Amino acid sequence: MDISSKTTMKEMISKYNIYPHKKWGQNFLLDKNILNKIVELSRLTSEDYVIEIGPGLGTLTREIANRSKGVLAIDIDSSLEEVLKETLGDINNTRLKFADILKVNIEKELTNAFNLTDSNKTYKVCANIPYNITTPIIFNLLENYCNMEYAVLMMQKEVALRIKALPGSKAYGLLTVMIQYYANVEYLMDVSRNCFFPRPEVDSAVIKIIPHRPRKFKLKKEDVFKSLVRRAFQMRRKTMINICAVEFGVEKEKIREYLVDLDIDGNKRPENLTIHNFISIAENWPVAQEENLN
């Protein structure tokens, strides 16, 4: 069944009396060429298990299933169950789970769905994720799932550009630094808004997120680092001297001296610092003064 055409998609929507929900960021992907490219870029093999987030009507799910050992598609919208049973009914290596992706243990669900004997079985994620919860989904995957090999995700282009931004650019921010902390990112391709139904108001992009295995940054003061980065980009128009003075509760002159010792210009703003600069500030901060953290 080819459900990637607009005509077929509209027929399915009418037949099952469903419609994409804006509150869940649902936009169904139509373009067959884009679907094929996403799966090709995911480099799936016949031995791979795959998690898909937000299957919609199953267009991407079918392509993933054709090139993998099994795909577990997770969606919060249970009203899609009947249409997905039809669109995926001729494929025997797909499983459906209707739940909030942020509240379900995807590794446990994958193990149960395919009766895996190895609970540490690695898997890949391939998805057109809901745009309204893009950031929570990414951090959920990176912080909680050690068996994920990598994730190929389609998202709002603006968010993808923020993730890949370089220091000194307006797009560089909290999201950029924190994802760098957990993973490497590859920008794979742009996707026009015309490839979706309903047509969104923004263009999209596909990126690949590869978690650091083992962890690239092994910090002794991870909490200090995370708090500092968060504070810095909340106050991004301030200089690092002012930001650190607020964050650590120390007078500015002492902060200036501290940053000079680290070879960091305290008059710079957060978007001009690299992740290594932030790590250096946090890791070298005197332990005795950590209690000053807000």
- Rounded to the nearest angstrom, the gap between the alpha carbon of residue 99 and the centroid of all alpha carbons in its chain is 18
pLDDT of residue 207: 98
For residue 17, what are its two tokens?
Answer: 């009396």
Question: Which ranges of the chain does DSSP label H, i.e. alpha helix?
Answer: 6-15, 32-42, 59-66, 81-87, 106-113, 134-144, 157-163, 174-182, 222-234, 240-248, 252-261, 275-283
Mean pLDDT of 180-185: 98
Q: Which of 184, 211, 238 is the last residue of a domain?
A: 211
Confirm whether 287 is domain-assigned: yes
Whether 203 and 241 share a structural domain: no
pLDDT of residue 202: 93
Q: Distance between CA 70 and CA 46 in Å, rounded?
A: 9
Q: To 10 degrees, the CA torsion angle through 155, 48, 112, 27?
A: 20
Q: Distance between CA 73 and CA 54 in Å, rounded?
A: 7
pLDDT tier at 200, thresholds 50, 70, 90: confident
> Residue 60 carries which side chain, given as an amino acid letter?
L
Mean pLDDT of 49-63: 95
Q: Is the pLDDT of residue 119 over 90?
A: no
pLDDT tier at 288, thresholds 50, 70, 90: very low
Whether 255 and 131 share a structural domain: no
- Check residue 217 and report its DSSP letter: -
- Is residue 68 within 8 Å of residue 43, measured between CB atoms? no
Q: Which of 188, 211, 234 is the last residue of a domain?
A: 211
pLDDT tier at 25, thresholds 50, 70, 90: low
Number of domains in the chain: 2
Confirm whether 135 is domain-assigned: yes
Q: Is the pLDDT of residue 190 over 90?
A: yes
Residue 38, phi then psi, degrees to nearest 5: -60, -45
- Is residue 240 within 8 Å of residue 270, measured between CB atoms? yes
pLDDT of residue 293: 47
> Residue 41 carries which side chain, given as an amino acid letter?
L
Confirm whether 245 is domain-assigned: yes
pLDDT of residue 294: 46
Mean pLDDT of 142-156: 96
**Which residue from 166, 193, 167 is spatially nearest to 271, judged by alpha carbons?**
167
Confirm whether 198 is domain-assigned: yes
Helix, strand, or coil here: 87? Answer: helix
Whether 19 and 141 share a structural domain: yes
pLDDT of residue 24: 66
Whether 51 and 107 share a structural domain: yes
Confirm whether 265 is domain-assigned: yes
pLDDT of residue 42: 97
Which domain covers residue 240, as residue numbers?
A: 222-292
Confirm whether 217 is domain-assigned: no
Non-local (6+) Cβ contacts of 267 within 8 A are 239, 240, 241
Whether 166 and 86 share a structural domain: yes
Whether 205 and 232 share a structural domain: no
Please write the tens of the pLDDT for every residue from 246-262.
999 999 999 999 999 99
Non-local (6+) Cβ contacts of 24 within 8 A are 54, 76, 77, 130, 132
CATH number at residue 264: 1.10.8.100
Confirm whether 1 is domain-assigned: no
Whether 192 and 234 share a structural domain: no
CATH number at residue 190: 3.40.50.150
- Is residue 11 within 8 Å of residue 17, measured between CB atoms? no
Whether 59 and 98 share a structural domain: yes
Whether 194 and 141 share a structural domain: yes
Whether 117 and 249 share a structural domain: no
Please write the tens of the pLDDT for every residue from 128-148.
998 889 999 999 999 999 999
pLDDT of residue 7: 85
Q: Which residues of 204-235 are buried (b: 16+ CB within 10 A; e: fewer)?
A: bbbbbbebeeeeeeeeebeebbbbbbebbbeb
Q: Is the pLDDT of residue 87 over 70?
A: yes
Whether 180 and 256 share a structural domain: no
pLDDT tier at 55, thresholds 50, 70, 90: very high
Confirm whether 216 is domain-assigned: no
Q: Is the pLDDT of residue 292 over 60?
A: no
Going from the C-alpha of 29 to that of each of 47, 191, 289, the distances in angstroms are: 26, 10, 52
Lowest mean pLDDT among 9-23, 67-81, 118-132, 262-276: 9-23
Whether 207 and 244 share a structural domain: no
**Which residue from 170, 152, 139, 160 is spatially nearest to 202, judged by alpha carbons?**
160
